[in-house]
Structure 1
Amino acid sequence: MYRKILVATDGSALSDLAVSHAIALAAALRARLVILTATEPFHLLSTEADQIADTEEDYRRHMQVRADRILEAAAQKAAASGVEAARVHAEGNNAYDAIIDTAERELCDLLVMASHGRRGLSAVMLGSQTTKVLTHSSIPVLVVRAEGAAAEATAA
């Protein structure tokens, strides 16, 4: 069914749930996995703490170290489950664009992402990257929701 799955992660506990789900799915389907983390480029005028404190060179080095750490942790989980995983660090102003572009370039046929599952006004105001991928991608997206994952963990 699915032969190449992209999972997007920012290293958070929530995205780790998506990574675990994607690895389990890839193992069950004998699919390959693409693990992606995206970072924002350096902006001279920014309110982001990392960008205010750093020079562009320091910022890029810091973001690369962070990306390597995130990708390595996810790749180790995948390897422990016998899943072949490629690692991709993308840079872009919009994470959702980086996710879609990478999935298309890597010929992925499924995207796996996490979501807090917010509803109502908070969902509209926050405008999550997952929502934007769902809106703009023609590739199927499997959304791992925080509350659903918590229920699964409690049942297990």
Structure 2
Amino acid sequence: MFHHILIPTDGSSLSSSAVEKALTFAQEAGAQATLLTVIEPFQVFSLAPDQISSTSADYRELATAQAERILSMAEAQANSLGVPCETVSVEHDQPHEVIVGTALQRNCDLIAMASHGRRGLSALFLGSQTVKVLTSSKIPVLVYR
């Protein structure tokens, strides 16, 4: 039924659990997976921008390394289950747009994701990014709690 599943992750415990479940589902369906993480851009307000230039570079380096760790762990899980996969990391301030866009670009027929990630008070409810994906995607979305 499903042939290509997009699995976004932010590395949180709930998201990691959803990755595990989605990869098992992909294995059972005989589907391939695209594992995605979105790096949020460095954002700060300062009256002296020259003071934050090194901070921005440091943030980008750390965020990229974190994204690589998250995707590496998910890829290892996919490999252990025999699920063919690719990994994608994108920097963007609207993760839901990247999730839906990546699913369309890569011809995914399902998005499988956690009900919420690690984003503040909205994580107490169905996550804001998940809600945005649910309301903007024309591709079916499987939400794991």
Q: TM-score range by the shorter chain?
A: 0.7 to 0.9
Corresponding residue number in structure 2 for 1:91: 91
Counterpart mapping for 1:2-151 below 5 A: 2-45=2-45, 55-116=55-116, 128-145=128-145
Query: 2:95 touches 2:129 (CA, 8 Å); kept in 1?
Result: yes
Identify if the C-alpha distance between structure 1 residues 55 and 124 changes in structure 2 by more than 3 Å, giving closer, same or farther: closer
Runs of 4+ aligned structure 1 residues displaced above 3 Å come to 122-127
Structure 2: segments with no counterpart, 5+ residues: 47-51, 117-121
- Judged with a 3 Å threshold, the aligned counterparts in structure 2 of structure 1 residues 134 and 44 are, in CA distance, closer, same or farther, namely same
Q: Which has the higher contact order (CA 8 A, sep 6+)?
A: 2
Distance 1:131 1:11, change over 3 A: same
> How far did 1:55 drift?
2.0
State the identity %: 47
Q: Distance in 1 between matches of 2:74 and 2:123?
A: 28
Partner amino acid, structure 2, of 1:109: D
Aligned-partner Cα distance in 2 for 1:21–1:110: 14
- Where in structure 1 are there 5+ consecutive unaligned residues? 47-51, 117-121, 146-156
Residue 43 of structure 1 deviates from its aligned partner by 2.4
TM value normalised by structure 2: 0.85
Indicate the RMSD between aligned Cα atoms, in angstroms: 2.3
Amino acid at match of 1:107: N
**Amino acid in the other structure paired with 1:89:** S
Note if contact 2:115-2:127 (Cα within 8 Å) is conserved in structure 1: no
For these two proteins, the number of residue pairs brought into alignment is: 135
- Superposition TM-score, scaled by structure 1 size: 0.79
- Alpha-carbon deviation of 1:107? 0.9
Please state how far the C-alpha of 1:44 moved relative to its aligned partner.
4.0
The separation in 1 between residues aligned to 2:103 and 2:44, in whole angstroms, is: 29
